[in-house]
Amino acid sequence: MTAKYRSYIIETMNGKRGSGLSQGRSVALALLCSTLLFTCRKPSASSTVEQSGGASPSTGTVYEVQRVIDGDTVELSSGTHLRYLGINTPEKKEPYFENATLYNQKLVMGKRVRVEMDVQPYDSYGRLLGFVFVDRVNINVELVRAGMAHVMIIPPNLKYAEVLQKAQEEARIAGRGIWTLLEYQAPLKLTSFHYNPPGDEAADPNREYLRLVNLTGEPLNLQGYILKDSDGHSLTFPDLELSPGYTLVVHSGKGKNQTSPEYQQEIYWQSDVPVWNNDGDELQLYDAAGKLILRRSYRGGQK
């Protein structure tokens, strides 16, 4: 890995991910100021179609947004839920969840939007996937540029990947929104962690999985990274390069590693049984130099 970074430890108890900031008045004031700043912020001219890949204004299907669910998901007038492609915003109980939701609401609520799709039309939850445009503004790009979202590329949906990365670097350098948080200074971020998934994970340990995203602006070679649980089980990552904004899925069960960036990159623990304890456990991720870069603790939950 060529990018330089400090060793950041992100701790979470009871499923609440810590931001690394104090819980005092300074945090509340910072979040309030951020909300006021970004709800009043005008979309950047560089989020327009001309600066976001040359898409035609006639491309895509027009809908009306009748409800904003969170920072990256809306409900259309048809009742269909639309998940924005290429980005990820904070979840409930995470810092900047409300900021991102309010900013998305300001950008699209009650408006006619044009939705551009990519290779995959729907996700595993049945949500429509797409890029949202209001007039000539790419809303996905605007959320990233405002520091309300980070890039999350999942092949084969690669449209606007380069534009999104440029917007993220702009937000990171400017210190906007989520980039003020300690969690986003680490090279990798845990975006999902299914430690107690629906169904019988004892019969199929691959029901357990987690997803990591490369937050840096450079490719990361993950060879030699080590993932551990609280019982001492460990997984050493194979030779694998993760591009900026791309994700890696780690399954608990058996399977063949898929390390090509042309597809969703996946590795397997090769365990015969579930790895993560349903009633409580701790995830620890170390880089190849042995530095602890990510920690996540939980007690129960999910299913």
Active site residue 17: no
The span from the CA of 43 to the CA of 57, in Å, is 17
Active site residue 127: yes
177: left (phi over 0), alpha (psi -120 to 50) or beta: left
How many Cβ atoms from other residues are within 10 Å of residue 156's Cβ? 11
The sheet with strand 281-286 has its strands ordered as 234-236, 226-228, 281-286, 292-298
The span from the CA of 91 to the CA of 191, in Å, is 9
Question: Are 163 and 87 contacting, i.e. CB atoms less than 8 angstroms apart?
Answer: no
Active site residue 83: yes
Q: Find the catalytic residue in 75, 91, 169, 241.
A: 91
| Residue type, position 78, single letter | S
Q: Find the catalytic residue in 17, 83, 114, 145.
A: 83
The span from the CA of 188 to the CA of 256, in Å, is 23
The span from the CA of 253 to the CA of 262, in Å, is 23
Q: Find the catalytic residue in 17, 114, 127, 172.
A: 127
Residues with catalytic roles: 83, 91, 127
